[in-house]
Amino acid sequence: MKVSRFLFWCSMVPVLSAAWVLPAQAQSVVVNEFRNATPDVVELLVITGDLNMQGMIVKDYSSSGVADNGGAYTFTTDSLWAALPAGTLIVLRKDTSAADVTVGGGDYNLDVGLQNTTYFTAG
């Protein structure tokens, strides 16, 4: 009897383990590069096609990664952020620029200042 219970529980381990496995989820956008320059520059690479980045937040932490120094920027509801194709490279600068704000055709590059209030809100 004890042997049969032991075998029963051993046979259930794969079934029970499979029940608690969560599906893997890929990131929709990743930091491709960061340059501590004047102005600071962050490159984001869009991984998921037709990505809606409206409402996403880019946040600045201290150099040690311990303290939160504020510096949050939220992507606005501008149509630019509504459906970005996979492979889009977004260059974010800590200024008010809008050097390249068109996506389409063979152009998958954006270059936008985080302090440009058309595309970001601070806070």
* Tens-digit pLDDT profile for residues 59-94: 876 666 666 666 789 999 999 999 999 999 999 998
* Tens-digit pLDDT profile for residues 23-54: 667 789 999 888 888 888 999 999 999 999 99
Structure tokens at 33: 């590069």
Q: Which of 87, 83, 82, 74 is nearest to 116 (CA)?
A: 74
Determine phi and psi for 94, rounding to 5 degrees. -85, 70
Domains of the chain: 26-122 (2.60.40)
